[in-house]
A and B are shown apart, each in its own frame.
Chain A
Amino acid sequence: MITVGIDIGSLSADVVILHFNDSNERGRVLSYSIIPTGFDTEKTAKKALNGALEKTSIDIKDISYIVATGYGRVNIPFANKNISEISCHAKGANYTFNSARTVLDMGGQDCKVITCDETGKVKSFIMNDKCAAGAGRSMEVMAKLVGVPLESVGELSFKIVDKPSNITSTCVLFARSEVMELLRKGVHKNDILAGACDALMNRVLSLMGRSQIETDLVISGGIAKNVGITKRIEEKLGFSVKIPEEPQIIGALGAAIFAKEILCKGKPA
């Protein structure tokens, strides 16, 4: 059987196609796709789903169940059910690493710390407030401002020339002004990026301080791809964290697993 998880986030839309024969089977990810979220949620979802389908030999009709998640979850008419991204991230992280008990999801516009049990069921969660500081969008703004591609931010942030800049503003827009001032003073962009990564890490850690962290800790979401952040978090926490091969699809993966569980409960194996 084939189930699909669709995660429409604020910045990216992710689709995972899961294949399994019966409920006892763990299931296998056939393919996935990640595209930027457009203005039209429904179109974005279709495009992402088609993108994932193209990589496989399966047809749309073979899909048994679709679960949608993320901020756009309610606007996907062809999904069978919507489940919040908090539950999906816990499920997906727990599926990827069986030992996962805490998930730090750093998405485009929010950041959350989720604790779960051995089945991936949420025990508690904390989210950042309305402000997008400490989320992917702020990194995008910084990278653009100093003129480096987003992918190289992490690497460059360790090649400190003088010392990491001190960026104190929580608000992305104020931080942007601070960075412009630093650039004007002639501070090297690597030092600025190091400062931006430090600031983001501190903000995430203060959020984690409000929750009880149990190991293993999994980091999901787009920012997990930024070694500048993940290495710094590891250093500060004093233990190593687990990062999925593709951290951006964890929410969609969780949704696909929920879809599998729902189907299998309907028809016991």
Chain B
Amino acid sequence: MFKELELIVNDRHNHAKQLKVRTNKGIIGYLCSYVPEEIIYAAGFIPVRLFSSEEAASLADTYMQSYYCTFSRCILHQALAGDFNYLDGLVTAYTCVNMRLAFDSIQLYGKIPFSRMIYTPGIIDDPNSKEFYYKELLRFKKDMENLSGRSINNDDLREAIKVYDENRSLVNDIFKDRRNPVPSITGKEAYIITLSGMLTDKQEHNEILKTTSKQITNRAGMKKGVNRLMIVGSPLDNLKLLDIIEDDLDAIVVTDDTCTCTRYILGKTPEENINQDPLKAIVERYLIKRPPCPTKHAQNRWLQCSSCPFRAVSCFLMNPAQKKKLPKSLIFSNPERICRFRHSLQLAINHNVEGVIVLQQKFCDPHGFDYHHVAQSFIDIGIPSIMLEIDNIISVGQIKTRVQAFLEMLQPVNYVIEPEIKEGISLNI
């Protein structure tokens, strides 16, 4: 039932080309989940996210040193190779330097007719940041109007927000099932759902999701009694990793905190703002309502956590001796998602996660800065984690050894491995 969506992910360039011809709409590529796609959509374009591929980023070497992440280098490589020649424009939001250099280089050498960087504030809950971001989005709206040659009024924005929010709630409804003891979708399927959504027209995606969710309801559970894992960290766009975890080794990914899956669909646009000023609603959604990525944080990052239930265990300002263990059954009712760590822990608890895989894209600084805190906060609530360093090319053997050992570590001490005796060993050399 995921064939159609998987095809979009695997054949993304051809899909976008066909989409362009079929809908007669322009295609705008974007680099980061902080790009407010609603505005692009309201201007009559189809936004598609650019991802890395499994080829060596050789063309990017001229402009980006090897100490930038392969995710961004690979996007530049594809742009220089002309793989994105169907794009009518390229948009990114200012988040990390890796992506910024890729964007700058594409702007200069990528031969894409239009490009625009949206300046996104690093501090997300300050009134000044909101004001700045609002003005920046106004300017961006103007640019999109010029590009499309038509004006975007508030109703256009409201319509686009409706489509995007519908998509978020459709995916959320499907993902809710992953909290069950036997989830009916695998982690790979979850990634296919969100990745395909970023690569196609959202309205069409919504229609596919409606039929898919009906099929999922009638489906038997996917994997019973296997370890429940969570993925946290750098953007993941290579489904091979999930093949290793879920097919080669027997485990299931029940949730994640990555911008290519769960973080992308969390956070609805606040309704009261949509009616008043839809652009303001977009500001609220992107800055406050969605979970932040490690390049975005609240002001007084560590101090304003007095009401946080995790303060008892995972506040980094606290003396380790004062920390106490929280029961894993703790569930919080009102997630205010401006603290990333709290958000991750909450997801882990809600989904009964047994182990966490922290993905570290090689040379991904923002996630590297966070790694120690992420690992420590999971240790504090008693969930073990491992760090996997990844590239755009997944090195299967090494990843497999690490994950297999991690799964063996998660087994209880008295775990019984069923003996499977093979008959007739022959050793003729």
Partner of B401, one of A47, A71, A122: A71
CB interface residues, A 15-36, toward B, < 8 Å = none
B408-A87 in contact (CB<8A): yes
Q: Is B409's CB within 8 Å of the partner chain A?
A: yes
Once the chains are docked, how many angstroms separate the CA of A87 from the CA of B403?
A: 12
The count of residues in chain B whose C-beta lies closer than 8 Å to any C-beta of chain A is 26
B409-A46 in contact (CB<8A): no
B405-A87 in contact (CB<8A): yes
CB interface residues, A 157-192, toward B, < 8 Å = none
Q: Is A144's CB within 8 Å of the partner chain B?
A: no
A130-B408 in contact (CB<8A): no
B421-A46 in contact (CB<8A): no
B419-A80 in contact (CB<8A): yes
B405-A81 in contact (CB<8A): no
B402 to chain A: closest CB distance in Å?
A: 6
B421-A87 in contact (CB<8A): no
Once the chains are docked, how many angstroms separate the CA of A261 from the CA of B418?
A: 11
Once the chains are docked, how many angstroms separate the CA of A50 from the CA of B428?
A: 10
- Residues in A neighbouring B389, C-beta threshold 8 A: 129-130
- 1/0 per residue, CB under 8 A from A, across B391-428: the answer is 00001011011101110110001001111111001110
- 1/0 per residue, CB under 8 A from B, across A42-77: the answer is 010011011000000000110111100001001000
A80-B422 in contact (CB<8A): yes
The count of residues in chain A whose C-beta lies closer than 8 Å to any C-beta of chain B is 37
Once the chains are docked, how many angstroms separate the CA of A262 from the CA of B411?
A: 14
A73 to chain B: closest CB distance in Å?
A: 9
Partner of A50, one of B386, B408, B429: B429
- Residues in A neighbouring B395, C-beta threshold 8 A: 130
Q: Is B384's CB within 8 Å of the partner chain A?
A: yes
A31 to chain B: closest CB distance in Å?
A: 15
Q: Is A84's CB within 8 Å of the partner chain B?
A: yes
Number of residue pairs A-B, CB distance < 8 angstroms:
74
Known: A81-B417, A129-B389, A265-B417. A46 touches B408 (CB 8 A): no
Once the chains are docked, how many angstroms separate the CA of A66 from the CA of B386?
A: 28
Find the residue from A43, A60, A87 having the highest chain B CB count within 10 A. A87
Chain B: which residue is nearest A265 at the CB level? Answer: B416
- Residues in A neighbouring B416, C-beta threshold 8 A: 265
- Residues in A neighbouring B384, C-beta threshold 8 A: 124
Once the chains are docked, how many angstroms separate the CA of A263 from the CA of B405?
A: 21
Chain B: which residue is nearest A47 at the CB level? Answer: B429
Chain B: which residue is nearest A114 at the CB level? Answer: B405
CB interface residues, B 360-402, toward A, < 8 Å = 384, 386, 389, 395, 397-398, 400-402
B419-A262 in contact (CB<8A): yes
- Residues in A neighbouring B420, C-beta threshold 8 A: 80-81
Partner of A263, one of B398, B413, B419, B426: B419
- Residues in A neighbouring B413, C-beta threshold 8 A: 117, 119, 121
- Residues in B neighbouring A83, C-beta threshold 8 A: 404, 408
- Residues in B neighbouring A47, C-beta threshold 8 A: 429
Once the chains are docked, how many angstroms separate the CA of A140 from the CA of B199?
A: 49
Once the chains are docked, how many angstroms separate the CA of A148 from the CA of B429?
A: 34
- Residues in B neighbouring A127, C-beta threshold 8 A: 401-402
A49 to chain B: closest CB distance in Å?
A: 7
CB interface residues, A 100-125, toward B, < 8 Å = 110, 117, 119, 121-125
A80-B421 in contact (CB<8A): yes
Once the chains are docked, how many angstroms separate the CA of A61 from the CA of B417?
A: 23
Chain A: which residue is nearest B408 at the CB level? Answer: A87
- Residues in B neighbouring A81, C-beta threshold 8 A: 417, 420
Q: Is A201's CB within 8 Å of the partner chain B?
A: no
Q: Is A255's CB within 8 Å of the partner chain B?
A: no
Q: Is A233's CB within 8 Å of the partner chain B?
A: no
Known: A130-B389, A262-B417. A84 touches B401 (CB 8 A): yes
Once the chains are docked, how many angstroms separate the CA of A266 from the CA of B400?
A: 27
B401-A86 in contact (CB<8A): yes
- Residues in A neighbouring B417, C-beta threshold 8 A: 81, 261-262, 265
B100 to chain A: closest CB distance in Å?
A: 25
- Residues in B neighbouring A261, C-beta threshold 8 A: 417
A123-B419 in contact (CB<8A): no
Once the chains are docked, how many angstroms separate the CA of A125 from the CA of B226?
A: 21
- Residues in A neighbouring B422, C-beta threshold 8 A: 78, 80
Once the chains are docked, how many angstroms separate the CA of A85 from the CA of B405?
A: 8
- Residues in B neighbouring A85, C-beta threshold 8 A: 401, 405
Known: A65-B419, A129-B389. A46 touches B401 (CB 8 A): no
A64-B408 in contact (CB<8A): no
A12 to chain B: closest CB distance in Å?
A: 17
Interface residues in chain B, defined as those with a beta carbon under 8 Å from any beta carbon in chain A: 384, 386, 389, 395, 397-398, 400-402, 404-406, 408-409, 413, 416-422, 425-427, 429
Of all A-B residue pairs in the complex, the 8 with the closest CB atoms, nearest first, are A86-B405, A266-B419, A84-B405, A84-B404, A122-B409, A87-B408, A78-B425, A265-B416
